[in-house]
Structure 1
Amino acid sequence: MAASSPMVLSLLLLASLTALLVLAPRLSPPQPPTGEQAPAAPGGGGGEEEEEADDLRLFRRAALESSAAGGPPKVAFLFLTNSDLTFAPLWERFFAGNEARLRVYVHADPAARLRLPPTPSFRGRFVAARPTRRADASLIAAARRLLAAALLDDPANAYFALLSQHCVPLHSFPRLYAALFPTPAAAAAATRARSYIEVLKGEPQMASRYAARGGEEGMLPEVPYERFRIGSQFFALARRHAVLVVRERRLWRKFRAPCVPEMAQDSCYPEEHYFPTLLDMADPGGVARYTLTRVNWTGSVAGHPHTYAAPEVSPRLIADLRASNHTHPHMFARKFAPDCLGPLLAIADTVIFKD
């Protein structure tokens, strides 16, 4: 018996190390930025091929370890930013008292200097980030990193809401949660829930946006023109669709390619094409075909939506932004200028969070 003790101890040690390696990704939280600087990406900031390899390793881990957990489902809030999280104080009020049912993740462009210190819900919730550029596939990659980080971090995350630093809530968190999980049975069946993502076809700009991807045949054979879709960059994905996105490779190879140079400025918005096209091709019956985030494109300039300023903030504006022609009202809205924080906080408890 004594002679076998070293062997028993060795087996126990091996089993412990194996368990540690399996659980480590879920136990490691997203890393906070250093000082004012956004977090550095893994791999030492190498070239494009090295960055892609780092992403592939992350996505592979997320896809392999993506089993859903029992217990109450959570909502993962994914903030994609290249500037300060100006509206964090408003989001703190939105999160207050509901911490057990949500998680926060932030992808901050490493080139952006975040001068405002993170508020409690955002502290330590920054994921390893890469540079992002407007109207570029780097925004797709950043959203996929956020999804992968949230999948790995907490198996209870059932919905994944992508937001920007310019987004604000339009309802209370309990109202959002009730919309996503209307009954206990719906919460138990969260893995089969619908995703809220805008999926449009037949739009006037469809042909030019498709051609911008490399000419009339640039997307073939993976994406024929009749399967190409456009939609809002911001969505709320069910867990199974988040797994689908981080697992997908075939369409990504097409959408990550540069646009035709002469069309890049006016028609190249891959972040508005990849997600609706992928989900419409993979699970057309599983998406609601509308987004929960309201955007006002009236009077848009250079591809940017209307930006609300402080004088425009009022109870009437909140009511107008909530209005929807779909099953659910809008739960979030963009795009708000930083000077809107004060007026929004002034009506937060009496209007925004009063359902």
Structure 2
Amino acid sequence: MARIREKEELESWSNSSVTKDSSISLLKLITILIIFVVGVVIGLSSSSHIDRYFALRTQQFSLNNGAIDTTQQIVVNCEKEDCLSMKSFIRPRNLCHSMTDDELFWRASLVPQKEEFPFSRVPRVAFMFLTRGPLPMLPLWERFFKGQNNAKFSIYVHALPGFELNVTSTSVFYRRQIPSQHVKWGSVSLVDAEKRLLANALLDFSNERFILLSESCIPIYNFLTVYKYLTGSTHSFVEAYDDPSRYGRGRYSRHMLPDIKLADWRKGSQWFELNRALAVKIVADTKYYTLFKKYCRPSCYPDEHFIPTYLQLFFGSLNANRTVTYVDWSLGGPHPATFMAGNITESFMQSIRKNGTLCSYNSGNTPICHLFARKFDPSALQPLLNLTSKVMGY
């Protein structure tokens, strides 16, 4: 009996152990499942945070580098919509640029070989002002241009570096200054400034005629008369004559031989008018300009000799050999007469406009010899404004 009871107790303990082990295994399984589920939830949550983190960092990086992205976009737009556009090529909208003179002259000397224009071209007159500073006759010029078709004219101002022309945004002179350099009277720097004005004006393919003016110049006829006279001419207007005195031939240097002979040496007024073909030739020249730069000094005044001599050498038949800007040299000396307020009368202005002489024009003659005049003192402005409508027609 004792053995039977011991056996029963052993079996009972064994069954209890199996039941206990099964319970423990089930508990472990449930625990593992819980841990797995919790791990999955934590993993998904962490992944979401990480995604948001990297998305936020990417956004912050884009914002921090926005200036770079914007610049790149501007460059792309410029190349696509502006820099390579026909409109920008044939007429630059902004006169400000960073080109050196050599780069500018090279760019301006480019000439299309195709005769037809792929755009509607209206011949334009370029009014080029070479000034030290303010334009005292500005109100007179504003009246001259008022109401005119701006497709027929353009304006360029070369002033001393650092000077800014103070005009309103409605003025035709607004933002018409070109990059400039210092100019010294009587030196080759004057020729540099003239070439700089020509070159900047040549960048506009519609500019056909180029007139050099100073701050003391005024128009003595209305715009339509000036425009028709210049665009209708088959010649350019550059004064070029042989002066046998020490103020002419006396300035010649034999170091210019054999390219420039004394017989080719010419003198003339600085205030020229050129057509486009001759303007390109002058800007493109290096050889003869270099001779003047080296040997036309001191007291040689290259601005009075370079263009007249250059045209005499190669393009004399294309030049009318006279200027369209009136200047009074009757007083003698190195500078012309200056007209003050007291000089400005109706009869005086009429005498400048038509003095009874005839000048050659194309194949005939014309009583209109001059379109502009200088040298007018600022005090003459108001008397001139009083006569514009009655005498000058504007």
Query: Structures share a fold, TM > 0.5?
Result: yes
Deviation at 1:107, TM superposition (A): 0.5
Match for residue 254 of structure 1 among 281, 291, 294: 291
The 5-angstrom pairing of residues 193-204 of structure 1 reads: 193-204=234-245
* Distance in 1 (alpha carbons) for counterparts of 2:121 and 2:371: 24
* Distance in 2 (alpha carbons) for counterparts of 1:223 and 1:168: 35
Q: SS at the partner of 1:106?
A: strand
Q: In the alignment, what sits opposite 1:232?
A: 269
Query: Does structure 2 conserve the Cα–Cα contact (< 8 Å) formed by 1:109 and 1:130?
Result: yes
* Distance in 2 (alpha carbons) for counterparts of 1:202 and 1:273: 11
Q: How far does the alpha carbon of each residue in 1:92-129 deviate from its partner, in whole angstroms, 9 at most, with x for none?
A: 11111222210000011116x45754671111000000
Q: How far does the alpha carbon of each residue in 1:233-290 deviate from its partner, in whole angstroms, 9 at most, with x for none?
A: 01110010111111111110011226455xx2xxx21101001111121211101000
Q: In the alignment, what sits opposite 1:30?
A: 95
Query: Does structure 2 conserve the Cα–Cα contact (< 8 Å) formed by 1:135 and 1:271?
Result: yes
Q: In the alignment, what sits opposite 1:222?
A: 259
Q: In the alignment, what sits opposite 1:62?
A: 108
Q: In the alignment, what sits opposite 2:250?
A: 208
Q: In the alignment, what sits opposite 2:56?
A: none
* Distance in 2 (alpha carbons) for counterparts of 1:109 and 1:258: 26
- CA distance 1:203–1:114, change in 2 (3 Å): farther
Match for residue 180 of structure 2 among 129, 145, 150: 129
Deviation at 1:161, TM superposition (A): 0.5
TM-score norm. by structure 2 comes to 0.71
Indicate the structure with greater helix content: 2
Gaps of 5+ in 1: 1-12, 32-40, 44-53, 187-192
Deviation at 1:147, TM superposition (A): 0.7
Q: In the alignment, what sits opposite 2:219?
A: 169
Q: SS at the partner of 1:195?
A: coil
Q: How far does the alpha carbon of each residue in 1:70-106 deviate from its partner, in whole angstroms, 9 at most, with x for none?
A: 5321100000000210101101111112222100000
The 5-angstrom pairing of residues 1-355 of structure 1 reads: 20-21=83-84, 26-31=91-96, 42=98, 54-64=100-110, 69=117, 70-98=120-148, 99-110=150-161, 113=163, 116-117=166-167, 120-152=171-203, 154-182=204-232, 193-204=234-245, 205-210=247-252, 215=253, 217-257=254-294, 259-261=296-298, 264=299, 268-301=300-333, 303-323=334-354, 324-327=357-360, 328-353=368-393
Gaps of 5+ in 2: 1-75, 361-367
Deviation at 1:65, TM superposition (A): 5.0
How many corresponding residue pairs? Answer: 301
Higher relative contact order (CA 8 A, sep 6+): 1
* Distance in 2 (alpha carbons) for counterparts of 1:346 and 1:104: 24
- CA distance 1:103–1:18, change in 2 (3 Å): closer
* Distance in 1 (alpha carbons) for counterparts of 2:98 and 2:335: 31
Q: SS at the partner of 2:155?
A: strand
The higher radius of gyration belongs to 2
* Distance in 2 (alpha carbons) for counterparts of 1:143 and 1:108: 12
Q: Which amino acid aligns with 1:147?
A: L
- CA distance 1:338–1:161, change in 2 (3 Å): same
* Distance in 1 (alpha carbons) for counterparts of 2:181 and 2:209: 24
Query: Does structure 2 conserve the Cα–Cα contact (< 8 Å) formed by 1:167 and 1:332?
Result: yes
- CA distance 1:218–1:325, change in 2 (3 Å): farther
% identical aligned pairs: 35
* Distance in 2 (alpha carbons) for counterparts of 1:66 and 1:160: 19
Q: Which amino acid aligns with 2:288?
A: L
Which sits farther off after the overlay, 247-256 or 69-78?
69-78
Aligned Cα root-mean-square deviation (Å): 2.6
Query: Does structure 1 conserve the Cα–Cα contact (< 8 Å) formed by 2:125 and 2:211?
Result: yes
- CA distance 1:85–1:17, change in 2 (3 Å): same
